Copies of this chain bind each other. A is one copy, B any other.
Amino acid sequence: EYTYSAVDRKAVDTLRVLAADAVEKAGHGHPGTAISLAPVAWQLFQNVMHHDPADATWAGRDRFILSAGHSSLTLYLQLFAAGAGLELEDLQALRTWGSKTPGHPEYGHTDGVEITTGPLGQGLASAVGFAFAQRRLRGLLDPDAALGTSPFDHHIFVIASDGDLQEGVTSEASSLAGHQELGNLVVIYDDNEISIEDDTDVAFSEDVAARYEAYGWHVQTVDWLATGNYVEDTEQLYTALAEAKAQTSKPSLIKLRTVIGWPSPGKQDTGAIHGSKLGGEELAGLKTVLGFDPEQHFAVDDGVLAHARSVGERSADYRSTWEEAYAAWRGANEERARLFDRLTAGELPEGFAEAFPAFEADFDASFSGGAKGMATRAASGKVLSALAPVMPELWGGSADLAGSNNTTMDGEPSFIPASRQTSTWKGGPYGRTLHFGIREHAAGSIVNGISLGSLLRAYMGTFLIFSDYQRPAIRIGALMGTPAIYVWTHDSIGLGEDGPTHQPVEQLASLRAIPGLAVVRPADANEVSWAWKTILEKTDGPAGIVLSRQNLPVFPRDEQGFAGAEGTARGAYVLLEATDDSGSAVEPQAILIGTGSEVQLAVAARDQLQSEGVPTRVVSAPSLEWFDAQDESYRASVLPDNGAVRVSVEAGIAQGWAKYTGVRGAQVSLEHYGASADFQTLFREYGITAEAVAAAARDLLGR
């Protein structure tokens, strides 16, 4: 319920002064919004949100996302005030090596930080994923409870800045949020009209409220300048928040007009207070205005702090109410409770390993066209459908390419408001098939949000080329170690006639460049099975599975010299060993390393070289990251330092491959953009062929 007593005010003013002190001590940082948003965040953390300062991971908590990550102090100060793990010395260590208070909030680093933010737009866009996940998880665990009565009901609160609202990813996610009628999402837009280039009017004059109404949001305006003077009407804000929570079929935007840095006497309402310390004089002025002693630094009145931290007791009441509801739910939902326990424990379901299909060989050793093969995207679709009944926590969809990406689990309903069903897609609010629209970037942020904000695993599909649109989301997911999954199909010039705008050439290299992301490019259908299995077994970071449009041979496994596909899990493995004339395994003189659709070229090139008397090994290397994580002895067993020449083949740039081909190595690669033609012509014209692989090996061997 709303309160804003004298001691509340004193606490808020204390936090403002702490913000300024912390930045002053660090010498740098973002004091402006930390000062002016202190009463806003106070309302959220002290009066509005359900949270337990003693338990940052309590399942019943509301989620708070500071999309304006540069204002990290806004969050740190509330965590300090509520006694949620930060103390004064943490604030004093702002932005220093090893502190709990880095420049931007970092997930996994500071308790109470639900998500890493800083790159603008990502927080708000991922909040849509949090909201999706809440609804889907409720659908799995407690679908029939009346809204607001389930232990799995909670809200997602966001503070967003002018910068967030300008970023395109926010537009994409907000359009989708309105479409999805996300009543559990409440965004406070800090409309302070100042960004780094000062008055935002130099670049940003749209009507944000009208835009959000156009998206289907519930929009309220709270204008603290309405009277002509600046009045922090926290009751009006509280009322708006209550109204937003009462809106159960629309996401809510509260456009809150603030003055950045208020009441800093000389720098409020200027760009100067956005991202720089106040300086001694201004800092003293701020303290004086607020009735604090300018000579004191980091001064916190014990009584004020005790008052703030009593929020823990107040939360305890709600928490115990929740525990009762939760216990009642467990009693009435034994099977669902087992699911919840399994998900909470991070365990895979029973029957997981058995669910993955094995695909029959479809391989023509003469490469004369006798085998049809299977596109790896098609195999991926079969794996997903096989997983559907076994792994309820897995869900996902495509950015308007469902049929092309093979991302739809057979027969699973769409995740959409009932009124949005179409003739093609049936479903409901608890559905499983996601429809992101043509919004690749938001889709990435959303799968990040789902993976962070819930116990679910989510995937999204698009063409590999459009991973470029998702890069900021992919990167921040990798930085956070969130296990989002990307299904990237049409993975090379092999997509053919759509031409160079759609043909990835540098994407494999540029994605491998992202620390913590696993890029997995299976060579055939059975590697697809193993790739999915391995991806789902890992929970420490994102992965992208990279799939062909065109059919690829399905190699015979454990016969004709081919290894089984289980080596996929180790990132690279010996697919075909070098042999002598009698067919016995021998030390290779040449090692051909391929990924995805080019492994078949290595296989064919091996035939040529073997027939010329060169014992040749083929290594299939679906994931260089997984391979790098193997121990030294395994890696040396696959790529021995025995003097063999090594040739890599991949229909993309060679960048990064020299590390694997070593001192006697070469790469068969594509160093330029593709063209619009059938894929057979492109591979031939660009020299991505078995002949080129064999020739490169011969060159290195001096033959």
Which A residues have a C-beta under 8 Å from some C-beta of B?
A: 26, 28-29, 69-70, 95-99, 102-104, 106, 116-120, 162-163, 166-172, 175-176, 178-179, 195-208, 210-211, 213-216, 271, 398, 400-404, 414, 416, 420-425, 435-439, 441-442, 465-466, 468-469, 471-472, 475-476, 479, 497-502, 505-506, 509-510, 512-516, 653-656, 658-659, 663, 671-673, 675-678, 681-682, 685
A479–B422 CA distance with the chains assembled, in angstroms? 38
- Show 20 residue pairs from A and B whose CB-CB distance is below 8 angstroms, ordered by the A residue: A97-B682, A97-B685, A104-B502, A106-B499, A106-B501, A166-B172, A167-B438, A175-B204, A196-B403, A197-B402, A198-B425, A199-B424, A202-B421, A202-B422, A202-B435, A203-B437, A468-B472, A506-B515, A509-B509, A516-B673
Q: Is the CB of A198 within 8 A of B424?
A: yes
Partner of A501, one of B119, B510, B512: B119
Tell me which residues across on chain B come within 8 A of A469, comparing CB atoms.
Answer: 119, 167, 471-472
Q: A197-B425, A205-B420 are in contact. List 10 more A-B contacts (CB 8 A).
A: A97-B675, A104-B501, A106-B501, A119-B501, A162-B438, A167-B469, A202-B422, A271-B424, A506-B515, A509-B513
Q: Using A214-B210, A515-B653, A675-B97 as known contacts, say yes or no to A497 and B28 having CB atoms under 8 A apart.
A: yes
Instruction: Tell me the number of copies of this protein.
Output: 2
A204–B438 CA distance with the chains assembled, in angstroms? 9
Tell me which residues across on chain B come within 8 A of A654, comparing CB atoms.
Answer: 659
A653–B625 CA distance with the chains assembled, in angstroms? 14
A398–B197 CA distance with the chains assembled, in angstroms? 9
Q: Is the CB of A69 within 8 A of B501?
A: yes
From A98, A515, A653, residue with most partner B Cβ within 10 Å:
A515
A97–B500 CA distance with the chains assembled, in angstroms? 12
Q: Is the CB of A435 within 8 A of B214?
A: no
The distance from the CB of A444 to the nearest CB of chain B, in whole angstroms, is 11
Tell me which residues across on chain B come within 8 A of A505, comparing CB atoms.
Answer: 515
Tell me which residues across on chain B come within 8 A of A466, comparing CB atoms.
Answer: 119, 472
Partner of A179, one of B97, B206, B210, B441: B206
The distance from the CB of A654 to the nearest CB of chain B, in whole angstroms, is 8
Closest B residue to A99 by beta carbon equals: B676
Q: Is the CB of A172 within 8 A of B171?
A: yes
Tell me which residues across on chain B come within 8 A of A102, comparing CB atoms.
Answer: 499-500, 675-676
Q: Is the CB of B515 within 8 A of A671?
A: yes
Q: Is the CB of A104 within 8 A of B498?
A: yes
Q: Is the CB of B438 within 8 A of A195?
A: yes
Q: Is the CB of B435 within 8 A of A95?
A: no
Closest 3 pairs between A and B when the two form their complex, measured CB to CB: A168-B168, A102-B676, A203-B437
Closest B residue to A660 by beta carbon equals: B658
The distance from the CB of A204 to the nearest CB of chain B, in whole angstroms, is 5
Q: Is the CB of A655 within 8 A of B515?
A: no
Q: Is the CB of A422 within 8 A of B104?
A: no
Tell me which residues across on chain B come within 8 A of A475, comparing CB atoms.
Answer: 468, 506
Tell me which residues across on chain B come within 8 A of A421, comparing CB atoms.
Answer: 202
Closest B residue to A478 by beta carbon equals: B673
Closest B residue to A170 by beta carbon equals: B168
A421–B202 CA distance with the chains assembled, in angstroms? 6
Q: Using A103-B497, A204-B179 as known contacts, say yes or no to A401 and B196 having CB atoms under 8 A apart.
A: yes
A421–B205 CA distance with the chains assembled, in angstroms? 12
Partner of A515, one of B98, B162, B199, B673: B673
Tell me which residues across on chain B come within 8 A of A195, comparing CB atoms.
Answer: 400, 437-438
Q: Is the CB of B117 within 8 A of A404?
A: no
Tell me which residues across on chain B come within 8 A of A200, comparing CB atoms.
Answer: 437
Q: Is the CB of B197 within 8 A of A95?
A: no
A416–B197 CA distance with the chains assembled, in angstroms? 14
The distance from the CB of A114 to the nearest CB of chain B, in whole angstroms, is 15
Tell me which residues across on chain B come within 8 A of A271, comparing CB atoms.
Answer: 424
A196–B403 CA distance with the chains assembled, in angstroms? 8
Q: Is the CB of B502 within 8 A of A118?
A: yes
The distance from the CB of A175 to the nearest CB of chain B, in whole angstroms, is 5
Q: Is the CB of A97 within 8 A of B677?
A: yes
A678–B196 CA distance with the chains assembled, in angstroms? 22
Closest B residue to A436 by beta carbon equals: B203
Partner of A655, one of B214, B402, B656: B656
Tell me which residues across on chain B come within 8 A of A215, comparing CB atoms.
Answer: 206-207, 211
Q: Is the CB of A416 within 8 A of B500?
A: no
Partner of A422, one of B199, B441, B509: B199
Partner of A506, one of B166, B498, B514: B514
Q: Using A166-B437, A509-B655, A514-B506 as known contacts, say yes or no to A424 and B202 having CB atoms under 8 A apart.
A: yes
A162–B175 CA distance with the chains assembled, in angstroms? 13
Tell me which residues across on chain B come within 8 A of A653, comparing CB atoms.
Answer: 513, 515
Tell me which residues across on chain B come within 8 A of A659, comparing CB atoms.
Answer: 654-655, 658
